[in-house]
Amino acid sequence: MQRFTKQLFVSLLFLCLSLTVHASLKVGSEAPNFILSDQNNISHELNDYKGGWVILYFYPKNDTPGCTTQACDFRDAIKRIIANKSTVFGVSLDSVESHKRFAEKHNLPFALLSDEGGKVAKSYDSLNNFLSFKTAKRNTFVIDPEGKIAKIYLSVKPSTHSQMVLDDLNQLQD
């Protein structure tokens, strides 16, 4: 019973900490800057994209069912995203090489950014950290041309997410 109580306490502590962390990043906040390499080993800095809209989506792992569905959903919507003067970036803790294989396999026409240490995911409150196992949470951020967070999506549905982002982007741009 004592062991169960201790596990319950630790679980509640992690839940409280995660809720507190999410409270720090809000719509209207300055989006944390980053410099990350994509699947072609090209470096991208968020500040270089000021003046345009950025869709920054975090996902747990390349070549898993939900992550593949989400990436392909954004791939299929890329022309509409570009028409909305927006750039999309996928971010996970996978390596540049893993991103390259994933992007080639699924013909992904946008940058997949490698955040191997999880520093950027953490700055966006999008890091799952279970003991020594880390992944990105399935969260998305729409960043406006001034570099402010315009919309936050937490725990999204991979198969319909790009349409939701596009609908909101149309409203935000009006």
Q: Which CATH superfamily is domain 27-173 in?
A: Glutaredoxin (3.40.30.10)
DSSP 33: P
CA-CA distance, 2 to 149, in Å (whole number)? 44
pLDDT value at 16 more than 60: no
For 78, list phi and psi in degrees, rounded to 5.
-60, -35
Q: How confident is the model at residue 24 (pLDDT cuts 50, 70, 90)?
A: confident
Residue 95 near residue 114 (C-beta atoms within 8 A): yes
How do residues 40-93 score in pLDDT, each as one tens digit? 999 999 999 999 999 999 999 999 999 999 999 999 999 999 999 999 999 999
Amino acid of residue 58: F
pTM, entire model: 0.85
67 included as an active-site residue: yes
Q: What is the mean pLDDT of the chain?
A: 89
Q: What pLDDT score does 129 carry? A: 87
Residue in 46, 54, 67, 156 annotated catalytic: 67
Confidence of residue 9 (pLDDT cuts 50, 70, 90): very low
pLDDT in tens, 122-150: 999 999 988 888 999 999 999 999 999 99
Measured CA to CA, the distance from residue 150 to residue 73 in angstroms comes to: 21
- Find the mean pLDDT for residues 109-113: 98
Contact indicator for 140, 58 with CB cutoff of 8 Å: yes
Q: What are the extents of the domains in the chain?
A: 27-173
Average confidence (pLDDT) over 105-130: 96
